[in-house]
Chain A
């Protein structure tokens, strides 16, 4: 074995250890609920908890709506900027970065002031309105990731020529976006969707301050009051994340083939 390859394996082993040791330790701890033997009791408690099911279901639903909203906003916007307004790209990139700079707590306080029950747009006056505002807030938080993922996808195709080819064949904007552009950036959209899902599932600040029964506040609550269940929850959350990634990989196999991704 060459020296270079040996050190490459050493670095890989160190990286893997850094990643896996805490994970293994958490798994090991989560299985110690029953004294003296390993068991899945903590998992049974967590999965059997009605609040877990309710909050997790709520967050999954919020994530789905956030992804739909994000795709509806970001795909046409990023497409239009590439096609007609390339000079606006730096401005839009700056705007999409703002959620990384402005803390979620500032955004949510802004929402509370702007959309309180006395405002002209009283989102917070009803549960549905508050849920909608939470989804809008999540879409804002996910904007930097979704925009970059979609923009990177658009960079791999000749947006202008494909658009013109579709136009000259009689297609309108709806057909062009749904049948030409979106299928060719589907993998990028899925990446953005996955990132959005991961952000929404674990988000605490917005859900907590808007008083929504989401998974983030539940995680925090369990973590503050229990010993083994938080470890089990962490592993469950981790499994869900990896499950999502695997799903995206599987879905991408069924995604339309493109000249840019021949295999």
Chain B
């Protein structure tokens, strides 16, 4: 990346003896939508708050548009932020909330009114201008909070788990709306979430965080299909993990249970006799031998769950259990528990976790 718009460089944050963010680095292009994804306490919100200016980094620097903003106060950064708890000013109407930043910036009343009307149009709530926050639903409040954040045309938009207080249906529609508005305005956005589906569905790139560090930064496709670490593989999506032993490192042979799988070029310096964790996504596994799948393992069906269009099957393979989904077919009854079964997959889909 030649000229990142936002550059977080070697940022560290400690509270007393506890370090919550360690050597965090990230470059974000102008107009990019990047999500920080991770479990509670991984440091994602702390990094966001350092970008906003609410926390000062213990080390490192933050550069926006070529300007070092590390020590600037939040009100000097020209950054917009949407909070988890909406944070609308209860004493102000919707229009006054949206116009707050514009008024603080000293804009004329006519300009404020015009911008507020434009914002209300963008979030599709033009009739709500005179309402108070308490008269709105959670989803509406968060859309107003989004409009308030983008009204002053900030350089950067920060979203701190903006959807987590909303119910599932509203969450899905609002995340699509956020993404569509972000694309329309071309505003560089950082989105903090612990919900992998949210991050995968709307991000240009995702930084998966754990223990105060970015475990992996990549596109949703890369993060899901080529997880760089065991944590990323486990945290993002459902994963079947099998224990295997390298039998011939040179040719890439690994024994799983009593069968051998060929993993050419994936062993990354493992030696014969080493134990490995191998992972497969459920959608990469088929029940029975299928054409185009070069590897198979035998086991016994341990659980069958009929979910309507999909049948979830668990197959016991030695000490491991593999979960896979098959489509329901009216002509074929679901497999029975206790039946012998073979699963097949492409060895290229198998991940070796380090």
A residues near B (Cβ < 8 Å) are 157-158, 161-162, 164-172, 175, 179-180, 183-184, 256-260, 262
B132 smallest CB distance to A (angstroms): 5
- Contact call B104/A260, Cβ cutoff below 8 A: no
Per-residue 0/1 for B136-177: is the Cβ within 8 Å of any A Cβ (1 yes, 0 no)?
A: 000000000100110010000000000000000000000000
A190 smallest CB distance to B (angstroms): 14
Q: B304 within 8 Å of A by Cβ?
A: no
Which residues of B (193-243) have their CB < 8 Å from a CB of A?
A: none
- Contact call A168/B52, Cβ cutoff below 8 A: yes
- Contact call B104/A184, Cβ cutoff below 8 A: no
A90 smallest CB distance to B (angstroms): 21
Per-residue 0/1 for B320-333: is the Cβ within 8 Å of any A Cβ (1 yes, 0 no)?
A: 00000000000000
A100 smallest CB distance to B (angstroms): 32
- Contact call A169/B101, Cβ cutoff below 8 A: yes
Q: B90 within 8 Å of A by Cβ?
A: yes
- Contact call A184/B91, Cβ cutoff below 8 A: yes
Interface residues on B, range: 20 to 34
B101 smallest CB distance to A (angstroms): 4
Known contacts: A257-B132, A257-B134, A262-B134. The answer to whether A168 contacts B91 by CB under 8 A is no
A-B contact pairs, 23 of them (CB 8 A): A161-B87, A164-B74, A164-B81, A164-B83, A165-B81, A165-B88, A165-B89, A165-B145, A167-B54, A167-B74, A168-B80, A168-B149, A169-B75, A169-B80, A169-B101, A170-B101, A171-B104, A175-B104, A180-B91, A257-B90, A257-B91, A257-B132, A258-B91
- The residue that B134 contacts in the complex, of A164, A168, A172, A258, with Cβ under 8 A, is A258
B152 smallest CB distance to A (angstroms): 7
- Contact call B79/A166, Cβ cutoff below 8 A: no
Q: B85 within 8 Å of A by Cβ?
A: yes
A106 smallest CB distance to B (angstroms): 41
Per-residue 0/1 for B67-78: is the Cβ within 8 Å of any A Cβ (1 yes, 0 no)?
A: 000000111011
- Contact call B132/A168, Cβ cutoff below 8 A: no
Residues of the A chain whose Cβ atoms lie less than 8 Å from the Cβ of B104: 169-171, 175
Q: B92 within 8 Å of A by Cβ?
A: yes
State the CA gap A95–B37 with chains docked (Å).
45
Q: B133 within 8 Å of A by Cβ?
A: yes
State the CA gap A131–B79 with chains docked (Å).
48
Q: B100 within 8 Å of A by Cβ?
A: yes
State the CA gap A170–B92 with chains docked (Å).
17
Known contacts: A158-B87, A184-B91, A257-B90. The answer to whether A168 contacts B81 by CB under 8 A is yes
